[in-house]
């Protein structure tokens, strides 16, 4: 009897451990609402890091605005060369000159989403999470596509 109880105990602990580690690996689908939920609640992007060569507030160019910060998750950071690993996310906060947050633009590397253009899901949010444009906008892809060999990433150079 004691043995049975112990076996059940071990099984329960194993199940908890497995579901916990699976949950932490679960990535959102390539959609604006799932991704917003992921970057604000499941894995808040403000707790992520910056590219080593692009830390904190930086001056930017059109169309994104005069100042920005680009946060990147571990999937991106742990990618030594392009293309970055699936699951990589870059969150760019776009600020006015007066350092007011104006928009949040995100790139999410989603397996099989858009293989001909680097499998990136693109989205622009208002600061409170309203999305548009999103998906495979020709504008985002056209501009970032000039650096397709750097996996469409402009603020970080892979060496
Ligand atoms: C006219 C060109 C242009 C267009 C269109 C454009 N971007 Fe960018 N993007 C840039 C430039 C230049 C940078 C480098 C940082 C800066 O200067 O602001 C950048 C940087 C970024 C970054 C930081 C990571 C990286 O790749 O360097 C993200 C995320 C991003 N853009 C998302 C988007 C999304 C989403 C769209 C479409 C809604 C978009 N961009 C449209 C030019 C563009």
Q: Is 104 in the pocket of ligand 1 (CB under 6 A)?
A: no
Please tell me the distance from the alpha carbon of residue 82 to that of residue 51, in angstroms, as a whole number: 14
Q: Is 69 in the pocket of ligand 1 (CB under 6 A)?
A: no
Residue 3: pLDDT above 90? Answer: no
From residue 118, give the alpha-carbon distance in Å to each of 114, 127, 152, 153: 6, 26, 7, 10
**What is the per-residue pLDDT across 4-54, written as a single tens digit (0 to 9) for each?**
655 555 554 445 444 444 444 589 999 999 999 999 999 999 999 999 999
Predicted pLDDT of residue 61: 86
Residue 153: pLDDT above 50? Answer: yes
**What is the per-residue pLDDT across 43-101, written as a single tens digit (0 to 9) for each?**
999 999 999 999 999 999 888 999 999 999 999 999 999 999 999 999 999 999 999 99
Q: Is 110 in the pocket of ligand 1 (CB under 6 A)?
A: no
């Amino acid at each position: 009897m004691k043995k049975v109880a112990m076996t059940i105990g071990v099984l329960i602990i194993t199940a908890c451990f497995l579901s916990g580690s699976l949950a932490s690996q679960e990535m959102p689908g390539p959609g604006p609402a799932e991704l917003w939920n992921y970057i604000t609640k499941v894995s808040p992007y403000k707790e992520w890091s910056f590219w080593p060569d692009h830390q904190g507030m930086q001056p930017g160019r059109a169309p994104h605005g005069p100042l920005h910060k680009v946060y990147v998750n571990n999937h991106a950071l742990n990618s030594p060369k392009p293309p970055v690993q699936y699951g990589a996310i870059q969150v760019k906060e776009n600020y006015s000159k007066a350092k007011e947050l104006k928009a949040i633009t995100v790139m999410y590397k989603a397996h099989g989403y858009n293989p001909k253009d680097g499998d990136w899901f693109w989205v622009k949010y208002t600061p409170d999470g309203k999305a548009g444009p999103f998906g495979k906008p020709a504008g985002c892809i056209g501009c970032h596509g000039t650096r397709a060999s750097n996996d469409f990433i402009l603020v970080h150079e892979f060496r």
